Amino acid sequence: MKKIYLFCSAGMSTSMLASKMQETADAHNLPIKVAAYAHNKLGEILDSDRPDCILLGPQVKYMYDETVAQYGKEGIPIAVIDAGDYGMMNGEKVLKSAIKLIKQSK
């Protein structure tokens, strides 16, 4: 099972997007788990439950470089969610881009 984890400042709005992405994955019978967390939990989660893809909410875009510097060497793709897709809560499009990132990182 692939794990796609979304991180933002508090994990609130990303959890709505995460559940839309999960609905899309389930509808297509994809073995994917999508979850959302607060950005300050990132290190803790990587230690206990390694994701296959890390997505940052647009509101923590400024933390992208820092996140890559800290966790990029883990070999996990890290990206910022497109602000338009985020605003529209387009779970399908965000899920597709995450799957593409996982494939490219192999």
Q: Known catalytic residues? A: 8
DSSP string, 49-102: S--SEEEE-GGGGGGHHHHHHHHGGGT--EEEPPHHHHHTT-HHHHHHHHHHHH
In sequence order, the 6+-apart residues with CB closer than 8 A to the CB of 53 are: 2, 3, 4, 5, 76, 77, 78, 79, 98, 101, 102, 105
